[in-house]
Amino acid sequence: MVETLKGTGPSGFLEFGQNLLVVDYGKIYQDGTPVGFLHEDGLMQGLSEPLGVWQGLKTIEELPGCVFRGIDRRGLQLELPGSSSGPTGGLTYNKQSFNVIFGRIATQDHRILGFMTDEGELQFYDDRFNGTLRKMDEVSQLSTIFQGIKSNGQPWQLNYQRPLHRPDKSYWENEIIRYFEDFDRVTGPQKKYVCETMRLFACTGLLQVVRKQEGSAGLGNVRHGASGATGVRSGKVNLDRDEFEKEVGFYKQFGASMVVPRHKPLIEVRINLVVAHEYGHQLEFCLSQAAQGIISEAYEKRRKLCDQIHPLPDGYEGGAELVQPTQLDERVFVSGYARSSMNEYWAESVAAFAVPQSRILLAEVDPEMHELLVGIVKEPEKMLNFNLHESILTLQTSLRVGGELPENPLTI
Ligand SMILES: [Zn+2]
């Protein structure tokens, strides 16, 4: 049985009574002879002397005085049983099932993810930062159900649900519903539009962090109601209802982007992602000064280039990039509207990045903005304001454990 286990356990030394046993990727040896297997979460199996013959699983705590010191699969120091103790039982975190063994939270295949206390406090390892432990709080903790016993043996149940969240919906759907206030009042296709175009930002925790900082979005009667159209900070987003309905229709019919005739014979590229666009304006206020500077510079560079290659035609009042139909591939901006100002350039880039179809376009037309946005999603601490770092990193750690945030968020 021991031989069939993959070498995924910890490495180091196991002290038991007078014996000092070697542990190599989980396999326990006495003088070169395998005598059992130790998992990272402190479960042992297939034991023989001197550990006592035992085929099933046993916790290290059940072998009095037994101590392991070494490293886990990440190469981080690991001591078992360790100084902390906590509950034992089954944990469901955002519908993902885990085991808790004396406070150690582990996957079904015995990888240790973090710790739980008898008070219900959770800490998870952040693998992006060398296994830094991040403590969950009311912002980051996902729905938590525990059933088992406390460290003193007392039976214990815990059921934590996020405030205002609907238990039948996933975290990301709930976040979109919280953000888009009129969600329950729009049609099925409109709901689908909002979900599809905001999912990436919801799953990565960026929607929640930005909503908390800037505010939510709602439908109103604001002609050209872009909150950022003037570059003036207003926090909450007001979307014009007619414009929203129009965009949903465009998206359904033409996809994320389309070409419209403007000032004949010229054409303009349009991105049909108004919710993500307005969200982009909010996100801009959450960026560090350095990040905003990079965007400004990139915009100025493109604007100059655009004025050279595609100068605005006489008699055209607007500020969008217009090109000859044959020049479509030589356009400078991902959409015509992106030319109007640095703020719109950014908001249009965020919008284009929101869904795979136009994300590819952005990568082709404006690789620099594409890369910047990849950075925001994967390494938000490099782009966001310093005061948001802790909340986004803790939240992303939680979302990874909760199965909301995939290893590569760009698969969303
Ligand atoms: Zn705008």
Q: What is the pLDDT of residues 146-191, one digit of tens each?
A: 999 999 999 999 999 998 899 889 999 999 999 999 999 999 999 9
Give me ligand 1 centre to Cα 394, in Å. Answer: 30
223: pLDDT strictly greater than 80: no
Q: Of residues 224 and 270, which shows the higher confidence score?
A: 270
CA distances from 174 to 163, 164, 180, 223 (A): 10, 9, 10, 28
Give me ligand 1 centre to Cα 272, in Å. Answer: 12
Report pLDDT for 304: 97
Q: Count the neighbouring beta carbons within 10 Å of the beta carbon of residue 109.
A: 10
Report pLDDT for 83: 82
Give me ligand 1 centre to Cα 346, in Å. Answer: 9
Q: By C-alpha distance, which of 184, 143, 186 is closest to 165?
A: 143
Distance between CA 298 and CA 306 in Å, rounded? 12
Give me ligand 1 centre to Cα 187, in Å. Answer: 24
Give me ligand 1 centre to Cα 339, in Å. Answer: 11
Give me ligand 1 centre to Cα 189, in Å. Answer: 23
Give me ligand 1 centre to Cα 344, in Å. Answer: 5
The 3-state secondary structure of 330-394, one letter per residue: HCCCCCHHHHCCHHHHHHHHHHHHHCHHHHHHHHHHCHHHHHHHHHHHHCHHHCECHHHHHHHHH
4: pLDDT strictly greater than 50: no
38: pLDDT strictly greater than 70: yes
Q: Is the bond into 50 cis (omega within 30 degrees of 0)? A: yes
Backbone phi, psi, residue 69, to 5°? -130, 130
Beta bridge partners, 126, equal: 132
Give me ligand 1 centre to Cα 196, in Å. Answer: 20
Give me ligand 1 centre to Cα 102, in Å. Answer: 52
Q: What is the pLDDT of residues 385-396, one digit of tens each?
A: 999 999 999 999
Give me ligand 1 centre to Cα 170, in Å. Answer: 29
Give me ligand 1 centre to Cα 331, in Å. Answer: 20
Give me ligand 1 centre to Cα 231, in Å. Answer: 8
- Terminal alpha carbon distance of the chain: 39
336 pLDDT band, cuts 50/70/90, is very high
Give me ligand 1 centre to Cα 280, in Å. Answer: 8
232 pLDDT band, cuts 50/70/90, is low
Give me ligand 1 centre to Cα 341, in Å. Answer: 9
Report pLDDT for 79: 95
Give me ligand 1 centre to Cα 275, in Å. Answer: 10
Give me ligand 1 centre to Cα 222, in Å. Answer: 13
The mean pLDDT of 227-239, rounded to a whole number, is 65
Q: Residue 281: how many CA atoms within 13 Å on its side-chain side?
A: 27
Give me ligand 1 centre to Cα 301, in Å. Answer: 20
Report pLDDT for 1: 39
Give me ligand 1 centre to Cα 234, in Å. Answer: 12
236 pLDDT band, cuts 50/70/90, is confident
6-15, 153-162, 204-213: the lowest-pLDDT one: 6-15
Give me ligand 1 centre to Cα 298, in Å. Answer: 17
Give me ligand 1 centre to Cα 188, in Å. Answer: 25
* Tokens coding 318: 């607007």
Q: By C-alpha distance, which of 343, 367, 228, 352 is closest to 295?
A: 343
Give me ligand 1 centre to Cα 277, in Å. Answer: 6
Q: Compute the mean pLDDT over every residue in the chain, rounded to the nearest whole number.
A: 93
233: pLDDT strictly greater than 60: no
Give me ligand 1 centre to Cα 295, in Å. Answer: 15
Give me ligand 1 centre to Cα 357, in Å. Answer: 20
Report pLDDT for 177: 97
Q: What is the pLDDT of residues 73-95, one digit of tens each?
A: 888 899 999 887 899 999 999 99
Q: Are 209 and 242 in contact (CB under 8 A)?
A: no
Report pLDDT for 221: 75
Q: What is the pLDDT of residues 343-381, one digit of tens each?
A: 999 999 999 999 999 999 999 999 999 999 999 999 999
Pairing of strands 132-135, 112-116: unpaired
Beta bridge partners, 220, equal: 240
Report pLDDT for 3: 43
The mean pLDDT of 40-58, rounded to a whole number, is 94
Give me ligand 1 centre to Cα 27, in Å. Answer: 59
* Tokens coding 87: 């509950």
Q: Are 202 and 377 in contact (CB under 8 A)?
A: no
Q: What is the pLDDT of residues 318-328, one digit of tens each?
A: 999 999 999 89
The 3-state secondary structure of 268-289, one letter per residue: EEEECCHHHHHHHHHHHCCECH
Give me ligand 1 centre to Cα 351, in Å. Answer: 10
265: pLDDT strictly greater than 80: yes
Give me ligand 1 centre to Cα 174, in Å. Answer: 25
Give me ligand 1 centre to Cα 405, in Å. Answer: 28
Q: What does the domain layout of the chain look like in residue ranges? A: 2-80, 88-160, 171-378
234 pLDDT band, cuts 50/70/90, is low
Give me ligand 1 centre to Cα 292, in Å. Answer: 16
Report pLDDT for 6: 54
Q: By C-alpha distance, which of 257, 269, 271, 365 is closest to 322?
A: 269
